[in-house]
Structure 1
Amino acid sequence: MANSSSTAFIGIGVMGEAILTSVLRTVDPQHVRVADGRVEYARERAAAHGVRAAASNTEAVDGAAVVLLAVKPKDIGAVAEEIAPAITPGAVVVSVAAGISTAFLESRLPAGTPVVRVMPNTPATIGAGVSVLSAGTHATPAHLDQISTLLEGTGAVYRVDEPYQDAVTAISGSGPAYVFYLIDALAEAGVLGGLSRDLARDLAVRTVAGAGAMAQQTGEHPVVLRERVSSPAGTTVAALRELDERGVRAAVIAAAETVRTRSIEMGRELDS
């Protein structure tokens, strides 16, 4: 029987550690075990967080109520098969691997194992992330509630039907990289205009953060907010026209569509 408060982490990379930090806000560290292919690294991170380091993946999951898989997509099938004999009946298996379907994991785990697929993003490391959950065949609304509670310290948590997870990957999963790209471009423009690199970077970072916060807090459509900044025949209108003429909007949509397509392909490649 699974210990109702115990959680196992397989993989303690950036995202695994971000979720671990969140979980420790509500779970006793003594009920958390971690394992990683880098044994010494796992021990180091376990000591830093006051949790237990397991000697193996199977030891980590033994008796755990929740098993979180935060390994690379190419490794997740082998890890699932490795831990399957040690999974306790009733345990929920959570995957944060892009492109990996719940069906892929279900086929490698004991029959009836509830599986929840999650697409988080890197701002989860500072509690400002987005995590999107989907239920597998045997995962109930109660299981989703359980995992939502586990992840609430990482930021906002949403739910979608699994077929939409590839689109989620394209928007919130990979989205921070698009924003960092924009910040870098804005900062470079500031340097070109004669600003110091430090000032240009700070202006770019704070502008993007402030605009995002404003869009979230007001709830107004981005078009409305954009128009309020765009005086007739003014500088901002001229800049937006330049962006349109250079196809920036179309490029962003195309980039996101490329991610969605690649996420689908990854799942198919591993399934074959």
Structure 2
Amino acid sequence: MDDNTMSGPLLLVGCGNMGRAMLRGWLDAGFICADAVHVVEPAVSLREEAGALGVRTHVSTETLEPGFKAALAIFAVKPQVMAAALPAYRPHVAEGVTVSIAAGIPLASIAAGLGEVAIVRAMPNTPAAIGKGSIVLCANERASAAQIASVTGLLSANGTVHRVESEAAIDAATAISGSGPAYVFHFIECLADAGVNLGLPAPLALALARETVEGAGALAMATGTPPSDLRRQVTSPGGTTEAALTVLMGDEGLRDVMRKAAVAAHRRAVELAGNISA
């Protein structure tokens, strides 16, 4: 155990794919001991998978001890059920900090369900499942510096954590990092399809597309060089890459398409937040 270790208890509400992957990251990183974690998950199969990690599991709040108080509670449930689920946890989270990773639910809506407590809203993305996530968070005024630091330490086991001051930035980040993996997966699809169109066997085309995206991303992270410079370094005048970039960077090219896609995702994030808080 190190200085970032929590003594607990930690309460995880919901243990689906994202919740379980994040929990495994916290345990593997030594952020908390398994016996200090309580998971509430009504689905039998998901509860059994959580139990296999050595944590304590519960069907509902009814099997939590009446005096149970979470130092840190994480809600990893579907946005549609949050409003109905929150009130039952009021007695158990009043003295700690609550983290919501449910997309589109504003801090004010969470406080309406839990009361005036310390709350952090976080937006992870799917690479958090392998410790490579990009996670954006913001906190309400009741969250102390120590609590925010504790949450940041917890989530850092799942990837890189960025703190923002406004919820508007969370909605913008949803359009970039939250939905972004799907954009990259689609790019891989398209690149592989282009390879097949040029005559490559489908398995080879897909392997080349995956490896190219992985390698280019790793290079961009490792060097810290601006991507525009990296692009120029691989683009020889009159060469094959320049020929391709003439298409990708032309009118209605990739930059314009990505901006339109991000605007559409951001608009939907704002709409969802408004619908939930209404």
Q: TM-score range by the shorter chain?
A: over 0.9
Aligned partner (choices 50, 75, 85) of residue 79 of structure 1: 85
Q: CA RMSD in A?
A: 1.7
Residue identity opposite 2:199 in structure 1: G
Aligned partner (choices 129, 136, 150) of residue 132 of structure 1: 136
Structure 2 counterparts to residues 170-185 of structure 1, below 5 A: 170-185=175-190
**Correspondence for 2:123:** 119
**Correspondence for 1:108:** 113
Query: Offset at 1:137?
Result: 2.3
Structure 2 residue 16 is matched with structure 1 residue 10: no
Query: Offset at 1:37?
Result: 3.3
Q: Distance in 2 between matches of 1:115 and 1:258?
A: 28
- The percent identity for this pair of structures is 42
Query: Offset at 1:145?
Result: 0.5
Distance 1:107 1:237, change over 3 A: same
Structure 2 counterparts to residues 133-152 of structure 1, below 5 A: 133-152=137-156
Residue identity opposite 1:41 in structure 2: S
**Correspondence for 2:94:** 89
Q: Deviations over 1:106-145 (max 9, x none)?
A: 121132x100000001001111111111111211221110
Query: Offset at 1:168?
Result: 0.8
Q: Tell me, what secondary structure is at the counterpart of 2:187?
A: helix
Aligned partner (choices 104, 107, 110) of residue 99 of structure 1: 104
Q: Distance in 1 between matches of 2:99 and 2:64?
A: 14
**Correspondence for 1:230:** 235
Q: Distance in 2 between matches of 1:202 and 1:150?
A: 34
Q: Return 5+ residue gaps in structure 1 as ranges.
A: none
Tell me if structure 1 keeps the 8 A contact 2:16–2:46: no
Aligned partner (choices 237, 252, 268) of residue 258 of structure 2: 252
Query: Offset at 1:88?
Result: 4.0
Query: Offset at 1:244?
Result: 2.7
Q: Normalised by the size of structure 2, how large is the TM-score?
A: 0.91
Query: Offset at 1:166?
Result: 0.5
4+ residue stretches of structure 1 with deviation over 6 A? none
Q: Distance in 2 between matches of 1:139 and 1:126?
A: 28
Q: Tell me, what secondary structure is at the counterpart of 1:49?
A: coil
Q: Distance in 2 between matches of 1:57 and 1:190?
A: 53
Q: Distance in 2 between matches of 1:45 and 1:10?
A: 14
Aligned partner (choices 26, 34, 37) of residue 29 of structure 1: 34
Q: Tell me, what secondary structure is at the counterpart of 1:68?
A: strand
**Correspondence for 2:246:** 241
Tell me if structure 1 keeps the 8 A contact 2:7–2:36: no
Distance 1:32 1:89, change over 3 A: same
Structure 2 residue 22 is matched with structure 1 residue 19: yes
Q: Distance in 2 between matches of 1:101 and 1:249?
A: 30
Q: Distance in 2 between matches of 1:41 and 1:35?
A: 13
Distance 1:250 1:87, change over 3 A: same
Distance 1:60 1:101, change over 3 A: farther
Q: Tell me, what secondary structure is at the counterpart of 2:220?
A: helix
Q: Tell me, what secondary structure is at the counterpart of 1:107?
A: helix
Q: Normalised by the size of structure 1, how large is the TM-score?
A: 0.93
Q: Distance in 1 between matches of 2:238 and 2:263?
A: 33
Q: Deviations over 1:203-255 (max 9, x none)?
A: 11111111111111111111111111111111111111112335221111111
Tell me if structure 1 keeps the 8 A contact 2:72–2:93: no
Q: Tell me, what secondary structure is at the counterpart of 1:108?
A: helix
Q: Deviations over 1:71-111 (max 9, x none)?
A: 11111111112322x32432111000111111111121132
Tell me if structure 2 keeps the 8 A contact 1:46–1:53: yes
Aligned partner (choices 56, 71, 96) of residue 65 of structure 1: 71
Tell me if structure 2 keeps the 8 A contact 1:22–1:152: no
Distance 1:69 1:183, change over 3 A: same
More deviation, 115-124/234-243: 234-243
Tell me if structure 1 keeps the 8 A contact 2:74–2:100: yes
Tell me if structure 2 keeps the 8 A contact 1:36–1:57: no
Q: Distance in 2 between matches of 1:8 and 1:42?
A: 16
Q: Distance in 1 between matches of 2:212 and 2:270?
A: 34
Q: Return 5+ residue gaps in structure 2 as ranges.
A: 1-5
